Amino acid sequence: MQTNERETEIIMEHVLKNKENLEVALDIISRTQKIREQIIKTFLEELKGFICKKLNMSQWYWETELYDKPYRGNKYLNFGVASKFGVLQKPVGISLSDNPTGNNPYIRVFTSSIDTELMSRLISKLNEVFESGESDGEQWLWCQPLTFFNWNYADCTNKGTLIKMYTNPDCAVEAIGNDLLKIIEVVKTVIEEWGKQNPSAQ
């Protein structure tokens, strides 16, 4: 018998031992989503604080849909910074994929620009700096999974991930935060260069 099956048997024996144990177990189950949401929110709060300390926020504003509605299964709930002006009017940050369990966030770059030259430059530069990325050419410009130090933070329903995010968030916050800051700087630099060459498009 596999270890996880034996663990399940032990838990079931304990839960079904008496009425009190069963009531406690059912109460915990009914609040599982709230517990997960609080872990995600706490993690995102720390990530936001890290970014705000390092970024000139006079040029950016926060998108907080993912913080407000974790695990809601909506498409592309954003959490990150968006430009207050210019062609980048959508977030550079973490967004949620179209997933009914809400457990597949990526770092994504969105842009409101429809200029194909700019989009091509951005994708090329991001791939050059980070050596990997994806684009669907429509919903997002470029993205990468939240995988750091051989741990996949994109699986936010996984017990191990939730425990890591809550008990020792500093490592992931710093890694994800620094990656976000590098992406923001690349995007900002490319857009500024493009804006100087195309002043009429601003």
The letter for the amino acid at 81 is V
Edge to edge, the sheet with strand 142-145 lists 60-64, 78-83, 92-96, 105-109, 142-145
Are 84 and 59 in contact, with CB atoms under 8 Å apart?
Answer: yes
Strand partners, 105: 96
Task: Give the tens place of pLDDT for each residue, 41-95.
Answer: 888 899 899 998 988 888 888 888 777 777 665 566 778 888 776 655 666 777 6
User: What pLDDT does residue 100 have?
Assistant: 46
Higher pLDDT, 120 or 73: 120
Please state, as a whole number, how many other Cβ atoms lie within 10 Å of the Cβ of residue 150: 5
Q: What is the pTM of this model?
A: 0.76
